[in-house]
Amino acid sequence: MTAAVASMAAKQHEITLLTRDGQRRPILCGEEENLLAAATRQGLTLPSLCREGSCGACHARALEGEYQLGPHSTSALSAEARERGEILLCRTAPRGPLTIVVEQDLAAMEAPAPTERSAEIVALERLTDDTVRLELQLSATAEGSGIQFEPGQYVTLTLPAGGVTRAYSIANTANWEGRLEFLIRRQPNGRFAHWLASAQLGEPLQVCGPNGSFVLDEASLSPRWFVAGGTGLAPILSMLRWMGELQAPQPARLYFGVNDESQLFAMEVLRDLQLQLPQLQLEICLWRPQGEWQGFVGTPLAALERDLPEALARGEQPDLYLCGPPALVTGVEQLATSLGLAERLRSERFLPN
Amino acid sequence: MFCYQCEQTYRSDHANGCATSRGVCGKDAQTADLQDLLIHELKGIACYAKRARELGSVDNTVGGFLLYGLFTTLTNVNFNAARFTALLQEAATLRERTQQRCTAAAQQQGVAVGPLAAPAHFVPASELGQLLQQAPQAAITVGLQEVGEDVVGLRALILYGLKGVAAYAHHARMLGQESDEVYAGVEATLALLAAEPTDADQLLEEALALGRLNLKVMELLDAGNTGSFGAPQPTQVRLTPVIGKAILVSGHDLADLAALLEQTAGMGINIYTHGEMLPAHSYPELHKYPHLVGNYGGAWQDQQQEFAAFPGPILMTSNCIIEPQPRYRQRIFTTGPVGWPGVRHLENHNFSPLIQAAQALPGFTTVPEQEEQITIGFGRSAVLGVADSVIEAVKAGAIRHFFLVGGCDGAAPGRNYYTDFVRQTPQDTVVLTLGCNKYRFNREPLGSIGEIPRLLDMGQCNDSYSAIKVATALAEAFECDLNELPLSLVVSWFEQKAAAVLLTLLALGIRNIRLGPSLPAFITPTVLERLTAAFGLRPITSAEADLAAALGRSAA
Ligand SMILES: Cc1cc2nc3c(=O)[nH]c(=O)nc-3n(C[C@H](O)[C@H](O)[C@H](O)COP(=O)(O)OP(=O)(O)OC[C@H]3O[C@@H](n4cnc5c(N)ncnc54)[C@H](O)[C@@H]3O)c2cc1C
Ligand code: SF4
Ligand code: SF4
Ligand code: FES
């Protein structure tokens, strides 16, 4: 290779990361490299899981510039999203200078990389046929016994035998005891699910995190509307509990959807939470109730289709927090976009990883 | 938003002031607007409180709220918009209550309440969007087109000075020191601003009157501090950590520190001071706690690195807080007027969450081999205790000159001036210091003149009161005017407490103060000209030239 060719291959483009808090952070990235790797190399921590275009964790948007998007799953990035200039950082290589809008605050990107810790099961409770509540006790490290994270973030859990690593959102809030609580739906034929079916108290797991940018916009005074499908309740429960701890004044309502009565869980927890957070309104949505259900019948999306336009007409502009199965997330995203609320929506998808 | 209250305000060739969606300090537009509205409401409350006082009806809890409300709007104190929406509601209720009390008092006396300024009739909207639409009428720049920037700047000088006064008065109040005179003064100043005065001469007079009020307030705070914790004594303070669990306490509120020391006694947790809390070590009733082990870190602008490295929780009791970084966001706590969205806030000295965090975090497990210490605690009683030898040294020519180099620190590069200045002071001069500006030079080995150390740390910025007392005593001893003393003031400002202290110094007739690193953006050239003519107030230039000028010789 001649020197000229080598320098061309090594050509570094100037990439400007526009952060959620409106700051600009320049990085350099070669054409052979992806943006996620380049950012990591330059000391920034951006959310990522699979690093191969299938989980959607590294989602961002290109504002201007030329780039090449490598192979990826359409559930991580739909064709429409692609059309709109949305990208997956782990699959994007620059072809010139780029401006990229990322979903993180600069400070969060400059935070230390997530750490690895060991933990053991201290509670394992069946909530419904396919939903369990898992509680872990982390072992103390040189950094102390507690666990610090922002409500809404997730960790990855690695099974004792190794090999299987899955992301799970934390359902409780940061604490000094080192306790982590999860709400997990047992995926049929799932590998983690399989292990969970016979897991015993005291069994060890490796925990890595925290990670993720599905967190509260703490500075916003707008009403907070939370939308959860199934175990998508986990990160939202963390946010609501945090609001309770802080005695946050923002109006809050939760749309929590499951298929039918038999799949309902955490109702007691939610009602206890209302004591701490009296402004919290609950809308439990059953898609196909089996008995005489007094509440809303339909998906949370249907409930939002009813309530959001009304709220907007009243001049209320809620912040939307959304977590659950991809179909729900996509549906609500489309609704929010059509109502001009795309900027106010934050979401997490429980994609296979 | 528009805000130009502090030294780091956005400056450009054509305009000064933070006016985009976020101030240089990190305050967002929404919070800034809500703060303006709160000030507007406080003016309204003050109109009634002042009138009621004239009519013989006094309620000093109103004054307490005014102090607290003003304090929350100082630079680097409260960034939590949600806190301000709550305060706006509280203020509206208090305004109504005060109005009723005032009306009742007027009826009793058979007189009219009388016409009151617009803020007395202001009703805040209950909905956020509408509330924010009301903000322009509360902006500091109101009437700029009609009255011009000199008048707006002078109003700002008074409002910002008043914020500083309120902060000190709040600390004094927390230590049980209050006075009718102070509350009346605060109410009168707010009522004055409510009326949007336009006469520059009157405004300058009022600014100086506020300076005199601040002297009274600093005296109260001094009485609170020394009354509760004893007179400061020269004390060695460790700057290096010790092994063990640790809590860091920052800000100015000694009452908070005292409560925490009491709650953690015998628990094996060490307490460290940070920033303006350093002087705490010199008070006997705080120093007596063996677990108050030392000072950690420097001035406020270094906190993001320092707090990240501190192996325990942090308590912010007043300014200066800046955006908590993820590395310590979960272990920083605010109390009193301080706030940051999403950061845990502790009230009423309930520090158990802080203590729990300290127990869970590792604390210091290694410490540097070389222990480092400095000496602080040269308040007025310590200095006046050796007044005879000081006077002797001056008369014998061993001390040629005193410099008071103090005030706030900040991130601006120009602040190196103060380090250079102190380093270059000749061997036969003494440097007095106070405020967090001292971190720029308080580890310098300046030596001593006989028994007298060449660097005397007098305490917090409010301990300017001590400095004034010392200067006054020296002037008496030498039978001269304050301005005839061999004393030069080199003041560093950052926020509104410094504005209050500056007004006090001017009100005392102290001349030739050097002010830096840059002049307040709200002091217009015309106003500066007047201040220079009346008081010789001028900006710093270079350490060499300013030193030479102070010592009465030309720069080499
Ligand atoms: C950021 C993040 C946070 C998450 N938080 C939670 C949480 O709090 N609670 C929770 O229950 N899950 C959560 N998940 C999903 C979780 O990580 C696993 O994907 C899920 O538990 C399945 O793991 P498994 O090993 O049991 O199944 P696998 O062995 O990975 O998969 C088995 C089969 O099921 C399919 N499959 C796996 N997951 C899904 C899915 N979600 N929808 C449709 N088909 C699927 C796979 O394609 C495969 O065919 C989260 C995912 C992400 C990316
Ligand atoms: S306090 Fe200072 S930095 Fe913050 S907005 Fe006001 S002028 Fe700007
Ligand atoms: S002296 Fe001024 S800048 Fe320094 S900590 Fe105190 S208030 Fe803040
Ligand atoms: S990390 Fe990029 S899609 Fe998973």
- Which of A104, A148, A216, A241 has the most B C-beta neighbours within 10 Å, making it the best mutation to test the interface with B? A148
Cβ–Cβ below 8 Å for B82 and A142: no
Q: Note the pLDDT of residue B460.
A: 95
CATH number at residue B352: 3.40.50.2030
Show the domain range for B305: 241-360
Q: Is B302 exposed, middle or buried (0-12, 13-18, 19+ CB in 10 A)?
A: middle
Residues B486 and B477: beta-carbon distance below 8 Å = no
Q: Is the pLDDT of residue B264 over 60?
A: yes
DSSP at A83:
H
Residues B504 and B528: beta-carbon distance below 8 Å = no
Mean pLDDT of chain A: 91
Q: Spell out a b/e string for B517-549, using b for 16 or more CB atoms within 10 Å of the CB, else e.
A: bbbbbbbbeebbebbeeebebbebeebeebbeb
Q: Which residues contact B525 (CB under 8 A, 6 or more apart)?
A: none
Whether residue B178 sits in one domain with residue B81:
yes
ipTM of the complex in this document: 0.83
Work out whether the CA dihedral A196, A199, A202, A203 comes out positive or negative.
Answer: negative
Domain count for chain B: 3
Interface check for A144 against chain B (CB to CB < 8 A): the answer is: yes
Nearest ligand to the C-alpha atom of residue B410: 3
Whether residue B525 sits in one domain with residue B436:
yes
Domain with CATH 3.10.20.30 in chain A: 12-109
C-beta A193 within 6 A of ligand 1:
yes
Residue bearing tokens 């310098």: B444
Q: Which two three-digit tokens encode residue B324? A: 């908590």
> Which architecture does CATH list for A224-349?
3-Layer(aba) Sandwich (3.40)
- Which of A176, A224, A250 has the most B C-beta neighbours within 10 Å, making it the best mutation to test the interface with B? A176
Residue B10 covered by a domain: no
Cβ–Cβ below 8 Å for A249 and B357: no
Tell me how far apart the alpha carbons of residues A109 and A102 are, in angstroms, rounded to a whole number. 10
**CA triplet B147, B149, B155: central angle to 5 degrees?**
80
Mean pLDDT of chain B: 95
Query: Is the bond preceding residue B480 a cis peptide, omega within 30 degrees?
Result: no
Residue B488 covered by a domain: yes
Whether residue B393 sits in one domain with residue B537:
yes
Whether residue B302 sits in one domain with residue B405:
no
A50 φ/ψ sector (left φ>0, alpha ψ -120 to 50, else beta): alpha
Q: Which two three-digit tokens encode residue A176? A: 């000094």
B83-94 average pLDDT score:
96
Whether residue B414 sits in one domain with residue B540:
yes
B141-152 average pLDDT score:
96
CA A267 to chain centroid: 22
Whether residue B394 sits in one domain with residue B260:
no
DSSP annotation string for B166-226: HHHHHHHHHTT---HHHHHHHHHHHHHHHT----HHHHHHHHHHHHHHHHHHHHHHHHHHH
Cβ–Cβ below 8 Å for A108 and B326: yes
Give the pLDDT confidence of B192-225 residue by residue, as tens digits: 999 999 999 999 999 999 999 999 999 999 999 9
| Of residues B81, B325, B360, nearest to A176 (C-beta) | B360
Interface check for A146 against chain B (CB to CB < 8 A): the answer is: yes
Higher pLDDT, B49 or A43: B49
Tell me how far apart the alpha carbons of residues B204 and B236 are, in angstroms, rounded to a whole number. 43
Domain with CATH 2.40.30.10 in chain A: 115-211
Query: Is the bond preceding residue B326 a cis peptide, omega within 30 degrees?
Result: no
Q: B363: distance to nearest CA of chain A, Å?
A: 9
C-beta B297 within 6 A of ligand 3:
no
Domain with CATH 3.40.50.80 in chain A: 224-349
Residue B13 covered by a domain: no
Whether residue B258 sits in one domain with residue B221:
no
Residue B337 covered by a domain: yes
Whether residue B417 sits in one domain with residue B540:
yes
Contacts of A19 in chain B (CB under 8 A): none
Residue B101 covered by a domain: yes
CATH number at residue B58: 1.20.1270.20
Work out whether the CA dihedral B177, B179, B185, B190 comes out positive or negative.
Answer: positive
Give the pLDDT confidence of B473-518 residue by residue, as tens digits: 999 999 999 999 999 999 999 999 999 999 999 999 999 999 999 9
Tell me how far apart the alpha carbons of residues A215 and A321 are, in angstroms, rounded to a whole number. 9
Which of B173, B202, B228 represents a domain boundary (last residue)?
A: B228
CATH number for domain A12-109, candidates 3.50.50.60, 2.60.40.10, 3.10.20.30, 3.90.1150.10: 3.10.20.30
Whether residue B185 sits in one domain with residue B140:
yes
Fold for A115-211, please state it.
Elongation Factor Tu (Ef-tu); domain 3 (2.40.30)
Whether residue B451 sits in one domain with residue B521:
yes
Tell me how far apart the alpha carbons of residues B154 and A330 are, in angstroms, rounded to a whole number. 56
Q: B41: distance to nearest CA of chain A, Å?
A: 20
Residue B542 covered by a domain: yes
Ligand 1 atom 45 nearest Cα: A352
Which of B328, B360, B392 represents a domain boundary (last residue)?
A: B360
C-beta B276 within 6 A of ligand 3:
yes
Decide: helix, strand or coil at residue B322: coil
C-beta A93 within 6 A of ligand 4:
no
| Of residues B128, B329, B360, nearest to A221 (C-beta) | B128
B14-19 average pLDDT score:
87
Cβ–Cβ below 8 Å for B330 and A249: no
For residue B553, what pLDDT band results from cuts at 50, 70 and 90?
low
| Of residues A144, A177, A249, nearest to B86 (C-beta) | A249
Q: Note the pLDDT of residue A1.
A: 40
Neighbours of B115 (CB within 10 A): 8
Residue B12 covered by a domain: no
Give the pLDDT confidence of B300-325 residue by residue, as tens digits: 888 887 898 899 999 999 989 998 88
Tell me how far apart the alpha carbons of residues B39 and B34 are, in angstroms, rounded to a whole number. 9
Whether residue B414 sits in one domain with residue B353:
no
Tell me how far apart the alpha carbons of residues B515 and B126 are, in angstroms, rounded to a whole number. 43
For residue B247, what are the β-bridge partners? Answer: B271
Whether residue B485 sits in one domain with residue B342:
no
Among B1, B44, B3, B6, CA closest to B518: B6
